[in-house]
Every structure is written in structure tokens, then in C-alpha cells.
């Protein structure tokens, strides 16, 4: 019974998320086919004959009604066949398998940075409210929120170029190190699996700047939310209860207040994910990351329909999975969330 009440709201959320994915896929499918430009012509280039183009259109099913095309596409997609990319000529799925891990690694490290920098900073600024620590922390988070991530990216590159000429600012890893293959495609994990400390450290160096550039806006947001949640909760009666009975201040702050005040920033982090994915496209371009983003950009410019669909759907999936994870974490932290969702 207990377990059911825990799992049921999450299943309900999942059902909602699947609906979102379906609507998203339909919208992108329609949009990609409505904008001008013949995908078959773009794939074959200006020198192809009219007959060749017509033949490819027929092969790609582009002459059928759009809804028929959509149903056929979704039917294949559900069986794991996302079609073939017309630019790379390979199945989209294997392209994705090549490019996705790089982006995944970048995003995970970014989220890690967000949590370990923003939440302590939020607590610190709330503790020293209206003093210099608070003021500089607030200025820092304001900068994070207002300056776009590509400016951070370029700024960090300039910084490295001028002061740390040996610091890598392009790519994921030094090509001379011949990084290990598999099993996950995430360099940090693969290098540990294969016991390659040199690769691990090098990959970490490569990751630092892009992840920081990407994390800044999230750090700003989450710091602000954590700070205001801590300040608000400090005034609550339950804090006075513990204080009246002489529970030490550090226990009140770091155990009682922190857990209660992490609900709001976690929720915000879920929402931040949307802009995180968007910013990742830009940051990856600046740092020559060779991930999902550059693949997606080519797909858009080349009107590579199958690749485009896959990129959008996987971005959507990213967002959804992140929010599901946050929902689960929240329902572990806050028992009222389980109750509310089940009621």
C-alpha cells in the first residue's frame, strides 16, 4: 500500500510526459515538412536530375499525405527504427549513439556543478543576509542569470588563451591519448573502467570550461531560489520550536532548514533543464565539442528530416527524464508531495 501510493503519482506523471512527447513529435513532423525547401533536392545537390529527385521523393515517401507519413514514421520509430540520415547516409540511431554520450557527459557534469556550487552558495548568502558575502553572492548570481552562456564560453576561452595557454579549449580529449572505447561513451566513466587516469584527468580538464559556461545561468537561478527559500523558512514556527529547546544553530540550518529549502531549487532545476539543452547547442559549437548539438545543427541546415526528428525527440526526452528524476527525488524529500499527488 505504502509503495503503491509512492509509485502511482509517478506513473501518472509518466503518462502525461508520454502525451507531451507525442504532441511534440507531431508538431516537429509537421513544421519540418511545411517550411520551404525540398529535402530530396537538398540531399542530392544541385547537379542531380529532376528524375533522380522524384525517385528519392518516392523512396522517402514524401509524396504521401503528411499524416500518413507521420503514422508510418511513428510505427517504425516504436520498433526502434528512426530511419536513415540523408547527410551521413547511416541509420539515425547509430549517429545518435555516437554523438549523444558527449552531450550527456557535458550535461551531467553541468548539473553536478550547479548542485555543488549553487546550493551551498544559497545557504551561505542566506546565513549572512545583507552582509558583504550576501551582496557579492547576489551579484554573482545576477551575473549568472543575465549573461548568456555563449558569452561565458567565449570569455572563458579568452581567459585560457591569455593566462593558461596549456589549458585545452577545444574538443573532449587530447587526440594523442587514444581514449578507450566503450562501454558507455562517457569518457569519465570509460577511463575509470579501463583504469586510464591520464584520460580521466585530461577529459576533466576539457570538460571544466564548457560545463562552467553552461552551468552559470543555472547556478545563478538556483542560488537565488535557495537563498530566498532559506530566508523564508528561517522565520517559520518550527525553527522557533527547535531554537526554544536549544537545538544548536548548525543542526537547525544544515539539517532541518536545508532539507526543507531544497524543494524549491530542485523544482527550478527541472525547469532550467529546458534552457540547459538549448544553451548546450551553442556552447558545444564554441568549444568544438562534437556532440549532439553540432549533429542537430547540420540536420536543421540540411533539412535532414529523420535526423531532425530524432534530435528534437531526444532533447524532449532529456527534459522529461530529468523532471521525472526530480519528481522522484522530491517525493523522497517531501512526504506531502506523495500525499498530494495521490489525493
Partner 1 sequence: MALLDVRDLSISFTGYGRTAQVLHGVSFSIAKGERVSLIGETGSGKSVTSKAIMGTLPENATIEGGRIAFDGLDLLALPPAERERLKGSDMSIIMQDPLSSFNPVFRIGKHLDDILRFADRRIGRPSGAQDRKRRIFETLRRVQLADADRVFDAWPHELSGGMRQRVLIALALLHKPRLLIADEPGTALDVTTQAEILKLINGLVDEEGLSLLMITHNLGVVRQTADRVLVMNKGEIVEQGPLAEVFGAPRDAYTRALMAAVPPLYGDRVENQPVSDAAPVLAMRDVSKVYRSGGIWARGEGHRAVSGVTFDVPEGEIFGIAGESGSGKTTVARMLMGLLDVTEGEVVRAPSSPGRRLTQIVYQNPGTSLNPKRTVAQTLAVPLGHIGMDRAAASARMTELMSLVKLPESYLGKYPHELSGGQKQRVSIARALAAEPKVLILDEPTSALDVSVQKTVIDLLLHLRAELGLTYVIISHDLSLMRNFCSRIAIMLRGEIVEQGTPAEVFAAPSHAYTRALIAAIPVLTEAEEALKPTVTEEERAAFLVPTTTLAEEDA
Task: Using CB under 8 A, list all residues that contact partner 1.
Answer: 8, 12, 15-16, 236-238, 240-248, 251, 255-256, 259-260, 263, 333-336, 339, 343
Identify which of residues 48 and 328 has a Cβ nearer to partner 1 in the complex.
328
To partner 1, the closest distance from the beta carbon of 266 in angstroms equals 12
Q: Give the per-residue SS3 of 137-176.
A: HHHHHHHHHHCCHHHHHHHHHHHHHHHCCCCCCCCCCCHH
List Cβ neighbours of 14 (8 Å cut-off, separation of 6 or more). 324
To partner 1, the closest distance from the beta carbon of 255 in angstroms equals 8
Identify which of residues 70 and 256 has a Cβ nearer to partner 1 in the complex.
256
- With CA atoms as reference, report the closest residue to 276 among 106, 156, 138: 106
* Reduced DSSP (H G I as helix, E B as strand, rest coil) percent helix, strand, coil of the chain, to 5: 80, 0, 20
Identify which of residues 303 and 338 has a Cβ nearer to partner 1 in the complex.
338
To partner 1, the closest distance from the beta carbon of 247 in angstroms equals 5
Could you say which DSSP state residue 247 is in?
-
Identify which of residues 53 and 326 has a Cβ nearer to partner 1 in the complex.
326
Identify which of residues 253 and 314 has a Cβ nearer to partner 1 in the complex.
253
Q: What angle do CA 22, 186, 87 make, to 5 degrees?
A: 55
To partner 1, the closest distance from the beta carbon of 265 in angstroms equals 14
To partner 1, the closest distance from the beta carbon of 6 in angstroms equals 13
Identify which of residues 9 and 137 has a Cβ nearer to partner 1 in the complex.
9
To partner 1, the closest distance from the beta carbon of 114 in angstroms equals 21
Total Cβ atoms within 10 A of residue 319: 20
DSSP code string of 251-303: HIIIIIIHHHHTHHHHHHHHHHHHHHHHHHHHHHHHTT--SHHHHHHHHHHTT
CA 46 and chain centroid, separation: 37
Amino acid at each position: 500500500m505504502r509503495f503503491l501510493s509512492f509509485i502511482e503519482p509517478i506513473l501518472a506523471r509518466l503518462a502525461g510526459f508520454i502525451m507531451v512527447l507525442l504532441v511534440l513529435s507531431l508538431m516537429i513532423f509537421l513544421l519540418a515538412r511545411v517550411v520551404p525547401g525540398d529535402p530530396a533536392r537538398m540531399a542530392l545537390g544541385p547537379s542531380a536530375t529532376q528524375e533522380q529527385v522524384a525517385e528519392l521523393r518516392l523512396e522517402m515517401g514524401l509524396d504521401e499525405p503528411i499524416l500518413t507519413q507521420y503514422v508510418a514514421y511513428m510505427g517504425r520509430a516504436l520498433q526502434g527504427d528512426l530511419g536513415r540520415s540523408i547527410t551521413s547516409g547511416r541509420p539515425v540511431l547509430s549517429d545518435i549513439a555516437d554523438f549523444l554520450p558527449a552531450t550527456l557527459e557535458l550535461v551531467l557534469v553541468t548539473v553536478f556543478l550547479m548542485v555543488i556550487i549553487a546550493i551551498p552558495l544559497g545557504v551561505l548568502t542566506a546565513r549572512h543576509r545583507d552582509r558583504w558575502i550576501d551582496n557579492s553572492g547576489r551579484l554573482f548570481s545576477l551575473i549568472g542569470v543575465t549573461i548568456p552562456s555563449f558569452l561565458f564560453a567565449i570569455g572563458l576561452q579568452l581567459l585560457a588563451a591569455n593566462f593558461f595557454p596549456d589549458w585545452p579549449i577545444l574538443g573532449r580529449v587530447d587526440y594523442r591519448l587514444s581514449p578507450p572505447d566503450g562501454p558507455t561513451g562517457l569518457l569519465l566513466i570509460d577511463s575509470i573502467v579501463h583504469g586510464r587516469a591520464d584520460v580521466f584527468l585530461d577529459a576533466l580538464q576539457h570538460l571544466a570550461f564548457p560545463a562552467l559556461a553552461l552551468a552559470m545561468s543555472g547556478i545563478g537561478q538556483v542560488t537565488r531560489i535557495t537563498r530566498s527559500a532559506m530566508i523564508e523558512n528561517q522565520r517559520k514556527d518550527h525553527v522557533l520550536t527547535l531554537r526554544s529547546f536549544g537545538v544548536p544553530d548548525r543542526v537547525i540550518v544544515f539539517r532541518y532548514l536545508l532539507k526543507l529549502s531544497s524543494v524549491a531549487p530542485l523544482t527550478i532545476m527541472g525547469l532550467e533543464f529546458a534552457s540547459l539543452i538549448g544553451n548546450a547547442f551553442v556552447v558545444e559549437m564554441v568549444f568544438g565539442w562534437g556532440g549532439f548539438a553540432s549533429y542537430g545543427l547540420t540536420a536543421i541546415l540540411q533539412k535532414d528530416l529523420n535526423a531532425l526528428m530524432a534530435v528534437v525527440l531526444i532533447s524532449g526526452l532529456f527534459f522529461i527524464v530529468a523532471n521525472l528524476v526530480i519528481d522522484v527525488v522530491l517525493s523522497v524529500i517531501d512526504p506531502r508531495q506523495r500525499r498530494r499527488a495521490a489525493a
